[in-house]
Amino acid sequence: MSDLYSGKWEGQYTLGDGYPKEMIGDTTSFDITMEVTDGALKGTCRDDKRKVPMSTPAVIEGFVRGGFINFVKTYAHAIAQDKYNTFFEMPELPSHEVIYTGYYKDEIFEGEWEFVSHTEVFPDGSIRQYLFHGTWSMKKL
């Protein structure tokens, strides 16, 4: 079964809740190269550089079991966006972790992704997390 999942994949993710209204529904293509051994998944992911200008690919780690996939995508460092919604690298800050989950059906993985961009702690002890999420899919090349 590992050979079914190991290899090169191409896909896209779509921005959802948490992003500015004008960005919701935007898609970004990506390429993933992954190895799956005994269900453990390791690999790399490169987003479309025209939209996410990272100089090195992100690392992915997770698992695949019974057609269910779960992995974490970690960039080399942080990504931010300016007031014009343009993404840029911030090498001085650590990356956030993007959590992907989904299912394999009809030769395609499809699912959802999410990440916490930052957390605020207020004087009364309450916490607010800024959550971003969306959908994704990929097909083996």
- Domain ranges, residue 133: 2-140
CATH code of residue 24:
2.40.128.120
Where are any strands of DSSP class E within the chain? Answer: 7-15, 27-37, 40-47, 58-65, 68-74, 78-81, 87-90, 97-105, 108-121, 127-140
pLDDT tens figures, 31-77: 999 999 999 999 999 999 878 878 899 999 999 999 999 999 999 98
Confidence of residue 2 (pLDDT cuts 50, 70, 90): low
Among the residue ranges 33-37, 117-121, 126-130, the one predicted with the least confidence is 117-121
Contact 74, 97 (CB under 8 A): yes
pLDDT in tens, 71-108: 999 999 888 878 887 888 889 988 889 999 999 999 99
Q: Are 39 and 67 in contact (CB under 8 A)?
A: no
Strand partners, 63: 40, 70
CA angle (34, 76, 68) in 5-degree steps: 35
Alpha-carbon separation of residue 94 from 11, 21, 117 (angstroms): 25, 26, 11
pLDDT of residue 1: 46
Strand partners, 25: none
Tell me, yes or no, if the pTM score tops 0.85: yes
Total number of domains in the chain: 1
Find the largest Cα–Cα distance for the chain.
Answer: 52
101 vs 16, 69, 80, 134, CA distance in Å?
A: 15, 6, 23, 11
Six token digits for residue 118: 């930052």
Assign 25 to helix, strand or coil: coil
